[in-house]
Structure 1
């Protein structure tokens, strides 16, 4: 009987990748906090997760040719500009550093939680393969 990793790992295989890409977005926002006219971006997690589950079918692919499908575009289409909570400071930058730090910490905790879930899933699979 073959192991279906999509069913065995559930949604957690997708959440790790999406959380990693969201961390890149948030860190880019923090890095550009002093850049004039920079607009803070964030990702719609639920829509990105739905797109990842429906289109990737659990496969992670690397583009080695320009004729390959662009899987980065699956989550890039769910990136949007964040609505600023503070008034414009005159330089057109919409990054609120405190909000970005809080979002980064929340995302990091959820990333660690997803890794923990994946670890427990793999531990269960290893125990099942060993017959324990």
Structure 2
């Protein structure tokens, strides 16, 4: 039985996206002084496409059959290969990364508030509206 019509699942997927984006931003900030490091970003569209195409699994009936290996990289993450901000070849713009982090934190907090609201509604129903 689906109490919220898939809303909780959608919010969970949004939180998963926010988590991957936060990790990617943190990795970029941690490598701001690493020579030749190229900044990475997360695309929700690419993440969604990779999740839907990655769910296909082949049934192997024999050990000599090829296994359809799914790419083991983090879904939705891509790099800016030709981007350079410094002479060292580093492609991280610290101001842009901090702005992305602030935006992602606001997005994450909004999702958490919405989930709390859903659980609060459920708690109210369980208690009989008291």
- TM-score normalised by L of structure 1: 0.71
In the alignment, is the contact (CA less than 8 A) between 2:41 and 2:77 conserved in 1?
Answer: yes
In the alignment, is the contact (CA less than 8 A) between 1:14 and 1:53 conserved in 2?
Answer: no
Structure 1 residues 47 and 89: CA distance shift in structure 2, 3 A: closer
Distance 2:95 2:35 in 1: 18
SS across alignment from 2:109: helix
Structure with the bigger RCO (C-alpha within 8 Å, sep 6+) is 1
Q: Specify every segment of 5 or more residues in structure 1 that has no aligned partner in the other structure, as ranges.
A: 57-71
Q: Deviations over 1:48-98 (max 9, x none)?
A: 246558978xxxxxxxxxxxxxxx95x8131111474xx542211100000
Distance 2:53 2:120 in 1: 26
Q: Deviations over 1:3-59 (max 9, x none)?
A: 456624151111112101110100110110000000000110233246558978xxx
- TM-score normalised by L of structure 2: 0.72
Match of 1:76 among 74, 82, 102: 74
Match of 1:113 among 107, 110, 115: 110
